[in-house]
Structure 1
Amino acid sequence: MIKCTGLSIVTGLLGIQIVSATTAMASTSSHKMQLSKIVLNGHTVSTQYKFVGGAPVTTYMPVYYVQQLINKVLGTDTSTDVWNGTEHTWTLTVPRVTPSKISSGSGSAISVNGTVIEAAPTIVDVDPSSGQQTTFMPIWYVQQLLNQILNLSPGTDTWNGGTSTPTWMLTTTATGSSESQSSMANAMWKVFNSTSYDIHTHSTMEQAGVTPTNAPVTAEQVADWVKDWAVKSKGYTLSGDIDDNGKIYAKGGTWIPFSLQYESSTDPYTWAKENDLFQGTNVSLPSSVISSSDASKISSNLSWWLNGFKFVNGVVHLHVPMYGNYQQYVGEVEAEGTSISDYRSALADGANYIDKATATITNGTLNLTLPSLTASFSRSAWEVDARGFSYGWNGASTLSNSLGGVTLHIPLNNNVPGFTLNIKSTKANLTGYALGYTYTNTAMSWFAIDEAND
């Protein structure tokens, strides 16, 4: 697997280099194999064998390793990037791309979003690193594939195999000037250090294992840093046993550290994107270079996520605050047998809708706007409770009058310090989120939030 954390991007661009290392002869291989490294943004992400061969002669690399690289650059995964060695086809599904044919010919078909854009020759040989038969493909065809998908300008994707150190360089520019890793990390840690909600400890960059440089920063790095900080800074001690019909899943007093295993995705970039960290920016892929203009927006979104709300022109925008979902994971996946896929989809689904909810206060009335849940994956329903006021699903309501798409007007007085907002799934074995909001006065000078899974 290719690991692309801690990237170092050169001169404001995303750089990929393939650097030749030692040359090795493998007795079980038909070609002279050369051990090379794939270096992404200054960091080695894989080491594998390649060879020069074919007619016309060119450099061949294992399709598998190129797939891993493309998945990182494009934000795809193994379900949308599939090599079929039996049928000799390579199919990719890439959002926001309208492909067109690059070349015709014979060989393995490369298909993007259902359109065959080129056919590449392949050679099967033994990969000395695994001792297994492996499919190799000319790097030239992979270059054409990436140029097509990323719409790269001339000169930003080059392969130089005529030197003692063969190099493949791929570059994509950010929109506007790029933000440095150091500047972005410093801004993020200011947000982390100013956050008080559900914090076990305010870990430093060093404690989180983050070592930024002055090179530009990517979206994937930003997401990795949020994850690294959360793992060191968040978590909680169980107040009581977690059990189901007498079976103990976890004992009271157990420390539960934060882990993406229990969240909407185990991939940091996907998790961050689902929680709107990149909302309002030009970020579209994990490899997107963060521009200086987008950096401040990301910091603002990070504060929004950590605290559970933000003010924009007098309007409060709600958010599911970052909180470990271990108890919900145990209850749904381990105790109830919910599939991991449904569990994670429901978490992302609920967060998506809560992040669209807004609130204002006018003339002693709380105006709470709830988005419609008619397209909800988990058939969710709203429930709102304040002293003397209720709306939505409460065990007696029907689903139809719990689907939102409305603005609720909740009378306020000194005896109503806040309200609870729940989003509940009506699907079997799926729940949702329960959020509690308080405010100090009718001007809504601040919101405090206490979140727990429902």
Structure 2
Amino acid sequence: MKAQHVVVGMTLSAMVAVSIPAVSYAQTTEESIQAGSTGSAVVLLQNDLNALGFTVGQADGQFGVKTTTEVEAFQKAHKLTADGVVGPATWKAIDSAVAPMVTKPVALSASSKAAKSIEIKHIYYNNKLITSPYGFTYDSTDYMPIWYVMNTLDKEGFTHTWSGNVWNIIVPNATSQSINYSNIHYGKGSMAIAINGTVVARVIGVTHVDPASKSTTTFMPIYYVEKALDRVGITSTWNGTTWKMTSSGSQGGGTSTSVPYGNVDLRFPAPSSITASSIDSYFAKSAYQGSVGSPLTGLGASFIDAQKTYGVDATYLVAHALFESAYGLSSIAQQDNNLFGYGAFTDNPGQDAGVFPSDDYAIRFQAWEVRNNYLNPGSSNYGGEPTLTGMNVNYASDQNWASGVGSLMGQISASVGLNSSNYQSYSASNAAPAPSSTSEPVYYLNGATATTMANTDYSGLPYYASVTAGQNDMFFGPLENGSFGQSVSELQKYLNSTMNAGLTVDGQFGTSTETAVKAFEAAKGLPQDGIWSFSMWQTYIDPLSNTPTLPAGQSVNVDEIAQGMAGGYVVPWYHIANVGWVDSQYVQLTNVYRVIAANPLSANTSISVYSDTSGTQSIATLHSGDFVVASSPTATNGMYEIQFAAETAATSGGKTPGTLMTGYVSAQRASLSAQS
């Protein structure tokens, strides 16, 4: 729903013809009405009486006994003649009483600090994922864009009108007895929610730019929408991320039998009908939030290659990417090539989300991570079986995560005439194919240069033989209650080995770890503040004499990127040629750019690379967001000269991974954006 109150994707002629509920905005009417009167003035009166606590129930436009009784009660309360007739004096008193309820609309700019924790939410109806819009918190209240809620209700035959800041929910085949109009008490707000013409809540509405569509959209508080839907038999649960609506008589569930595709063994390849071309065809035709065609179009070969290399069902990978990235439209997908939500913590998802050097790399990394840590029995996050329901045990706190991804698997499969019976079901006796590789993927660069930066702890930049060694040995900042990540795990291991602390090595710095640190400090004669400082890390866990460093300000060549962690945060690690791996937070790239398609939100996001400036012979195809190297971000004669490398044989025409290439990209098709 746009701020101008136009219902997106629906013309007025397509709406069901019902009366728009009349809501008073302190504008006195001169019409005198009484028992027996009918029409819009009576609807206005009835809605206002409900608002003021004089409950008449459904605003049906019929001035009957109940309305008369409540008018008289209002008149007595305001020291008017209690005759049940609503004339100028009574209208004036009603308008004066209603006026304080009406607040000015709240309009927040895209950069406003008042909208907090802007992140993707998920809306389910009867255990089926319907949509994944962005929501936020404003004034300590959770808000959701109403257009997407409308779309959810549309699945069950509801229709809607929007006029005069009133959202009117039209319930199919409803009678006054089937909707609960009792105890209607609502407070201040610039907008109202009505059911079949009866206003049931006045809410503080907020207009804000929807990060997915980039359009200004109307948001309402989830709590009041939940209460309104409860009146028509739709119950809701909300955990801060997922809104689950359930209609009367429906049951939720999280077992493999109720989760779509929940019993598919994800270690087996998808059926042969799921190909690179069928995936791209699905992307190109997909519709999401009013947009047709996903920016993920062109990545079909990447999903199939990840399946072949790491042994993870490509249908699942596609569904998971769609689920987490809002079909490739989310801000972290667009800005960070982050298709699976890595590091997008609730408090600050945009700032904390991990950066990936390409969408293709993000897909390969996901397949590697999932197979090695979630699908292999005995792995660190194995949930009992290599299925969506098994993954849901440790992958996501949202109990409906598996249902959401499974529903999308069903849509992808249906696009080529398949269903869940065409997939390998899980059985404990399954002998899953061995993956071609268990090694973490890397991203190759051609000619990337950078400058090392100083940090607050080390006199130089530590470098390591592997990313794993760096994650285990490098100090990323003071460790204290609330810290998390590999550094905390190393601390817990150290305390267990040196003083039998008995800590669970979970990477979470809680009260027990703090108590153990204080005991250690007491034993060493240190101030007992419960904080593990850099000097303590340096002295007891990782003496710097064993950690080589590079001086700050040194020019270096970066030839590979791998995704990793720095403390509890997802960050890339860079391989400095002939040196080792370093935390990317302490390296400033100087000639690396993201190649961005002319319309990165469209399905036209593949970018041809040509052998020369004539643009006649294509030698490779990149995807919007890929990291490349360039001596200048300025096009010459309409072409950018770039350096890049073959990443996989499957996505580079059979070339050996790491093969270095130079080519040209049309400035009409793409632009270069500096990547720091």
Is the TM-score greater than 0.5?
no
TM-score, normalised to structure 2's length? 0.21
TM-score, normalised to structure 1's length? 0.29
Bigger fraction of residues in strand: 1
Q: If you compute each CA radius of gyration, which structure gives the higher value, 1 or 2?
A: 2
Bigger fraction of residues in helix: 2
